[in-house]
C-alpha cells in the first residue's frame, strides 16, 4: 500500500460521480421503469388464454434470456440507427445516440426478467379474487388493474428491487462502448493517469457499498411489505 496513490482518487471523485454515476443512475432508473412496464405487459400476455399471444411473449422472453447482455448491447448499439433509417425510409443511419441505444437495450433486455417476476407475482394471487372481480362486473383489464396487479406489485417489490440492483451492476457493460458511465469514467482516469489499481479498487468499493446497502434495504423492506395470508 506504500505506492497506493490516494491523490488520484481525490482529484477524480467529483468527475466520477457528477459524470459517471449520474449517467449510471439515470440509465438504471429509466431502464427499470421501462422494463417493469413492458415486463408487466409481457407477463399478462404469457398468462393469456390466447395461444398466439402466449407464444409471442414466451418466444421473446426465452430469446432475451438466452442471449448474453453484452451481445444484445452490441446489436442495438450498432443496428438501431439502421433499423430507424429503414423504418422512416432514410438513406443514412439515424443518429440515435449512445444513451438512447443503451436505454433501448436495457429496457428490452430487462423486460424479459421483470416479466417472469411479475408473472410469478400475478400467479401468487388466489384465483378466487379474480372471479370475485368478474362477479362484481369488472372485465379482465379492470380486474387486473384494480385487484391483481396492486397485490402482485406489493408481493414482488423486494424481488423487483433485487433485479434492479443486478441491472445497476450490468450498466457497467456500456463501458466497452466507450460510454462514460461510472465504471467507464473510472477506467478512463485509470488509463490516463496510469493508476489502474487505485481507480479500479475505488470503483469496486463504491459498487460494493451501494449494492450491499441496497440489498440490506431490500431485506428490511421484504418483511414490511409482505402480505400475510
What CATH number corresponds to the domain at position 29?
A: 1.10.3720.10
Please determine, for residue 109, whether its predicted confidence score (pLDDT) is greater than 70: yes
Residue 202 included in any domain: yes
Domains identified in the chain, total number: 1
Q: Confidence band (pLDDT; 50, 70, 90) for 192?
A: confident
Vertex 27 angle, CA 6 and 91, to 5° = 120
Query: The whole model's pTM is what?
Result: 0.85
* Digit-coded pLDDT (tens) for 158-180: 888 899 999 999 999 998 888 88
Please report the pLDDT score of residue 44 as a whole number: 87
Distance, CA of 126 to CA of 4 (rounded, Å): 58
Please report the pLDDT score of residue 7 as a whole number: 81
Helices assigned H by DSSP within the chain: 6-15, 22-46, 51-65, 69-88, 98-123, 127-135, 140-143, 149-170, 182-193, 196-225
* Digit-coded pLDDT (tens) for 123-142: 888 878 888 888 888 887 78
* Digit-coded pLDDT (tens) for 36-88: 999 999 998 998 888 999 999 999 999 999 999 888 888 888 887 887 788 88
Residue 190 included in any domain: yes
- Note down the domain range covering 137: 6-225
Q: Could you tell me which of 69, 79, 94, 30 has the C-alpha nearest to residue 174?
A: 69
43, 112 in Cβ contact below 8 A?
A: no
Residue 96 included in any domain: yes
Residue 1 included in any domain: no
Residue 115 included in any domain: yes
* Digit-coded pLDDT (tens) for 82-103: 877 888 887 887 777 778 888 9
32, 196 in Cβ contact below 8 A?
A: no
In sequence order, the 6+-apart residues with CB closer than 8 A to the CB of 106 are 27, 31, 35, 167, 170, 171
Residue 15 included in any domain: yes
Helix (H) or strand (E) holding 17: none
Distance, CA of 15 to CA of 203 (rounded, Å): 13
Q: Looking at per-residue confidence, does 23 or 6 come out higher?
A: 23
Distance, CA of 89 to CA of 97 (rounded, Å): 19
Residue 112 included in any domain: yes
Amino acid at each position: 500500500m506504500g505506492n497506493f496513490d490516494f491523490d488520484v482518487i481525490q482529484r477524480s471523485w467529483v468527475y466520477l460521480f457528477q459524470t459517471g454515476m449520474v449517467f449510471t443512475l439515470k440509465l438504471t432508473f429509466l431502464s427499470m421503469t421501462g422494463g417493469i412496464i413492458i415486463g408487466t405487459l409481457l407477463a399478462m400476455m404469457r398468462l393469456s388464454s390466447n395461444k398466439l399471444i402466449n407464444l409471442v411473449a414466451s418466444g421473446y422472453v426465452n430469446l432475451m434470456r438466452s442471449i448474453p447482455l453484452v451481445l444484445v448491447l452490441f446489436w442495438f448499439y450498432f443496428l438501431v440507427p439502421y433499423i430507424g433509417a429503414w423504418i422512416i425510409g432514410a438513406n443514412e443511419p439515424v443518429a440515435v445516440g449512445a444513451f438512447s441505444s443503451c436505454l433501448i437495450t436495457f429496457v428490452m433486455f430487462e423486460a424479459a426478467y421483470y416479466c417472469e417476476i411479475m408473472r410469478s407475482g400475478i400467479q401468487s394471487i388466489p384465483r378466487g379474487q379474480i372471479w370475485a372481480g368478474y362477479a362484481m362486473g369488472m372485465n379482465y383489464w379492470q380486474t387486473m388493474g384494480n385487484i391483481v396487479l396492486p397485490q402482485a406489485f406489493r408481493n414482488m417489490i423486494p424481488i423487483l428491487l433485487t433485479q434492479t440492483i443486478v441491472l445497476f451492476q450490468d450498466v457497467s457493460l456500456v463501458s466497452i462502448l466507450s460510454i462514460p458511465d461510472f465504471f467507464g469514467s473510472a477506467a478512463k482516469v485509470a488509463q490516463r493517469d496510469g493508476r489502474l489499481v487505485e481507480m479500479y479498487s475505488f470503483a469496486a468499493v463504491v459498487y460494493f457499498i451501494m449494492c450491499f446497502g441496497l440489498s440490506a434495504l431490500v431485506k428490511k423492506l421484504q418483511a414490511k411489505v409482505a402480505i400475510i395470508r
